Amino acid sequence: MRKKIVAGNWKMNMTPAKAVELVNTLKDQVNTEAVDVVFCPPFVCLPAVLEATKGTNIAVGAQNMYFEESGAYTGEIAPSMLVELGVKYVILGHSERRQYFAETNETVNKKVLKAIEHNLVPIICVGESLEEREQGITIDLVRLQTKIALKDVKAEDAKKVVIAYEPIWAIGTGKTATSMQAEEVCAAIRTVVAEIYSKEVADEVRVQYGGSVNGGNANELFNMGNIDGGLVGGASLKPEFASIVNY
C-alpha cells in the first residue's frame, strides 16, 4: 500500500521570516500520519523552514539542484549542500524550469541520478502543454519524459522516486485536470515504470498530480487509484494547504 505524499511547492514566494510564519500556521494542522508532507521553499528559506519544522514529521524539499558536486557554477546549488542542511526531497524538472531555465529531459536525468547518489528523493515533474494535449500526444510525451528521467536509475532506487504529473495548462490557471484525465496519465506513468522495471517497482513508485489542486478538489483527485497525492503550488501558501493534506 503506497502512502500518499503531498508536497507544497512554494516557488519564488516567501522570505525566511514569512516562511516561519507559514510553517507555524500549518504544522499542527496537517495530519502527517496518513500522508507524507513535504514543504519545498526557496533555497534561502530552507534553514528557517528546517528549524521551524523540527520535532514534526514534515519533511523539507528543495525546488531544484545542480548535477555537479561542486565547482565554478555560479548561482547553482549542489546536492551535498542540501543534504548537510537536512533536506530530504528535491523537485526536478518542473515545467517552469523547463520553460524559463532551459531544462531538458537529459539534464533532468543527470539531476535525478545525482540526487539518488546523495539519498535525496527526487520529485520528477512531467506533463504536457495545452497544444500538446490538443495534438493528442500527451501520453507519448509523458512516457518519453518519464523514460528519459529514469535512464540508468536502478530498480531499487526507482521504487523510491516520486513522479509528479503536472499538465502545464493546469498550473496556476485554476483549471484543474478532471480526475479522469489525471488518472489516465498517472496510470500511463505507472505502466511505463512497469515496462522499464517490473510490476513490483511500478506498484511502489508514487505518482502525484499537480495543477490547481485545492481544498475542494483534492479528495476526488487523491482517491483515484493511480494518484498518490499532489504537488501543490498556489494553495500551499495558504492555510488551505492543511485541508488538501487532510483531504
Ligand X SMILES: O=C[C@H](O)COP(=O)(O)O
Q: Write out the catalytic residue numbers.
A: 94, 166
Count of beta carbons in the 10 Å neighbourhood of residue 215? 17
Please tell me the count of residues contacting ligand X according to CB under 6 A. Answer: 14
Given 35, 90, 201, 213, the residue binding ligand X (CB under 6 A): 213
**Per-position x/- string for 119-158, each x denoting binding to ligand X as judged by CB under 6 A, each - no binding:** ----------------------------------------
- Under the criterion CB under 6 A, does residue 233 sit at the interface with ligand X? yes
- Under the criterion CB under 6 A, does residue 211 sit at the interface with ligand X? yes
- Under the criterion CB under 6 A, does residue 216 sit at the interface with ligand X? no
- Under the criterion CB under 6 A, does residue 226 sit at the interface with ligand X? no
Stretch that binds ligand X, among 66-74, 143-151, 182-190, 227-235 (CB under 6 A): 227-235
Cα–Cα nearest to 221, from 163, 177, 190, 161: 177
Residue with cell 526507482: 158
Interface with ligand X in residues 64-123 (CB under 6 A): 94
Q: Which residues of 38-74 are buried (b: 16+ CB within 10 A; e: fewer)?
A: bbbbbeebbbbbbebbeeeebbbbbbbbbbeeeeeee
Q: Which three cell numbers stand for residue 147?
A: 523514460
Q: Return phi, psi of residue 232, to 5°.
A: -110, 130
Stretch that binds ligand X, among 30-38, 66-74, 201-209, 229-237 (CB under 6 A): 229-237
Q: Based on CB atoms, which residue is closest to ligand X, 79 or 233?
A: 233
Query: What is the 3-state secondary structure of 92-131?
Result: ECCHHHHHHCCCCHHHHHHHHHHHHHCCCEEEEEECCCHH
- Under the criterion CB under 6 A, does residue 210 sit at the interface with ligand X? yes
Cα 169 from Cα 123, distance rounded (Å)? 19
- Under the criterion CB under 6 A, does residue 167 sit at the interface with ligand X? no
Question: Contact positions toward ligand X, by CB under 6 A?
Answer: 9, 94, 166, 171-172, 210-213, 231-235
